[in-house]
Amino acid sequence: MAALLLGLGGAELGARYVLGLGTPPLSVTHPTIEYMFAPNQDVQRFGNRQLYNEFGMRSVGMEEVFQPRRVLVLGDSVLNGGNQTDHADLATTLSTDDKIFFGNVSAGSWGPANMGAWIDRYGFLGADTLVVVLSSHDLRDIPTFAALDPLTHPTRMPVSALVEGVERYLPRYLPASLTATNSAPEKAPEPDATTASTSVQGEAEIRALIDRVGGGGSCACAWCSTRPVRSCRDLAAPQTRWPIT
C-alpha cells in the first residue's frame, strides 16, 4: 500500500510540475460574449506559458504596455495558439516591439459574434487598428450560449493533475486506437436549409462586426481568410485591406 501511495504521489507530482496538468487555463461564461478566458491567469501547460491579462486577452497586462501605438488582433484558436504555443512564440508577441503593441484577443471556437461582443464590452483599449482573423467556417459559427464542455473549456480546476490527465486527455487517444477500422469515411451531409440559414446569419454577424469597428472612429480593420499570415505587422499596415472570401 505504501508503495502504491508513493507511486501515485510521484505520478501526481510529475503530471503537475513536468507536464503542467492540474492547472488548465480556465474559461468563464458571459451573457453577451458567450465565453472567454478568465482574466488574470498565468499557468504552465506542457512547458508552455499561458498568460491572460485583466481583459481575458492572451497578452501582458495593459498597465505594462508602453508602446505609443496599440493594435488589437481578434481571432479563434488559430490566433490563440492553445496549450501547444508558449506566450513568447505567439504571433502577437513576436510582432510586438518598442513602437507597436499587438494585443491578442482570442479564444477557441470564437466567431464574429463573440469578437463583436467583446469589443462592445471592453472597447478598443486605446488601439488605432483592429485586425480580425477569420476563416470560411466562421460563417456557421453562431453563439449558442450552451453549457461549456469541461474537456475543451474547463471552468474550474480539476481535483488533481492525474484526474485531469485521465478525464481530459486519455479519452482523446484510447477510443481512436481501440475502434479504428478500415471502413470508408462517411460522406459529408449535403447542405440543407438550416445550414444555409446559419451561413446567412454568420455573414450578418461579420457585417455587424465590420460596422462596430468602423464606428470606432480612428480604428481600421484588416481581414484575412485563407491567405497565409507570417506576421501581425503585415496585417496592421495601413494599406492592408483584404476582402472576406
The pLDDT tens digits along the chain (245 residues) read 887 778 778 777 877 888 888 889 999 999 999 999 999 999 999 889 999 999 999 999 999 999 999 999 999 999 999 999 999 999 999 999 999 999 999 999 999 999 999 999 999 999 988 888 888 777 778 899 999 998 889 999 998 888 888 888 877 776 555 545 454 444 445 555 566 666 778 788 878 877 777 665 545 554 554 444 455 565 555 444 433 33
Neighbour-count burial of 168, counting CB atoms closer than 10 A to its CB (0-12 exposed, 13-18 middle, 19+ buried): middle
Look up residue 141 and give its three cell numbers.
459559427
- The values of phi and psi at residue 33, to 5°, are -75, -20
Q: What's the start-to-end Cα distance of the chain, in Å?
A: 62
Contacting residues for 174 by C-beta, under 8 A, at least 6 apart: none
The CATH architecture that domain 27-143+195-236 belongs to is 3-Layer(aba) Sandwich (3.40)
Q: How far is it, in rounded angstroms, from Cα 201 to Cα 122?
A: 24
